[in-house]
Amino acid sequence: MKLVAQRVGVLAAVALVALIVALELAHRLNPSSSAPTTTVQAIPSPGASWNDVRAGILSPSKNGEKTACGVTIGVTTFGVAHPSLPCGTRIFVAYGHIQALTQVIARGPYVPGRGLDLTPALAVKLGIRSAADVRWRFAQ
């Protein structure tokens, strides 16, 4: 019985390593994933209410550095940094009467009192030049 348990453990470890290698190969074959975009129409989740937060603006990545979500932030990258939402979570961000569909592409913010950080391109689209109070809600 002990021998069977050891074999199962070894097979599980081999499967995990194979999965990690496959994911890395897939990422290397599709390096353009640094600026995730979508053409799918998204609608707010039914009954989703707006969350009011203070948002700052991220700096573009230096030397091709990637965020915790694996994204290099460039001047045209749309996205937000959020401390706990999973990478890829789609949300609407609104400032005044302007709304934008985006997704979580980084961890943060790391400034006390802020709930989001916006990429420079998203800040421009919303008309934000410095830290501002914005609203966000989940997209479907």
- The helix/strand/coil state of 136 is strand
Query: Of 26-30, 54-58, 103-107, 135-139, which gets the smallest average pLDDT?
Result: 26-30
- pLDDT tens per residue across span 67-98: 999 999 999 999 999 999 999 999 999 999 99
Residue indicated by tokens 């700052």: 56
> For a pLDDT cut of 70, what percent of the chain falls above it?
67
Does this model's pTM top 0.95? My answer is no
Which position has the higher pLDDT, 37 or 129?
129
Q: What ranges do the domains of the chain cover?
A: 2-33, 51-138
**pLDDT greater than 80 at residue 49:** yes
Enter the CATH code of domain 51-138: 2.40.40.10
- What is the b/e burial string over 122-136, where b = at least 16 CB atoms within 10 angstroms of the residue's CB? bbebbebeebbebbb
Beta strands 90-95 and 80-81, pairing class: unpaired
Distance CA(44)–CA(46), nearest Å, equals 6
Give pLDDT, residue 22. 57
